[in-house]
Amino acid sequence: MEKVKLMKRFNLSLFFLAALLFWSCEGPVGPQGPPGSDGLDGVNIVGEVFEIVGDFVPGSDFRLRGEYGFDILESDKVLIYRLDGTDQEGTDIWRLIPQIVFHEQGIFTYDFDFTYFDYTIFLNGDFDLNNLEPALTDNQIFRVLIIPADRIDLRLDFSDHRGVLEMLKIEESDIQRISLN
């Protein structure tokens, strides 16, 4: 009986020693990646950003519809921002939509929906939208940002337009403007 216990302890010790040796082994270091690479495998997928300009008119049911010109994946995120003016230094103020607006006649929103090949930005209100001032309906500028799923950082504040552009590594000068009028 004592011999069996001794043998079990020996086998257990041998097992732990072998496990320790295997866990501490390292293989050869892989080849160096291209200069400036982040060490991640695969292709570098960047987001798409473009601006659109359009008028919300009764004939289109106060909607702006556009196509991306490419398909997006089900896992991609679409964000749309509305240019809401400039600050004292002349910097553009971008607001993430849906955006609620409190108007003297009631409440309305700039909102959007999207599919894998197009998007629609629309006004929705609790009063007759024909009574809106042209400053709220004409020459409205929006930025459409398509963020690939592998770039979505859930800790990022998506209402921070500048932060999202920095994450996507997109410069203001690279953003194309499309007129929907």
CATH for the stretch 48-179:
2.60.40
Q: Which of 25-34, 43-52, 59-68 has the lowest mean pLDDT?
A: 25-34
pTM for this one? 0.71
Please state the domain extents for the chain.
48-179
> Would you state the pLDDT for residue 98?
95
> Would you state the pLDDT for residue 144?
93
pLDDT at 119 over 60: yes
> Would you state the pLDDT for residue 117?
85
DSSP assignments along the chain, one per residue: -HHHHHHHHHHHHHHHHHHHHHHT---PPPPP--TT--S--S-----EEEEEEE---GGGTSEEEEE-SS---TT-EEEEEEEEEE-TTS-EEEEESSEEEEETTEEEEEEEEE-SSEEEEEEEESS-GGGS-HHHHSSEEEEEEEE-GGG--TTS-TT-HHHHHHHHT--GGG-EEEE--
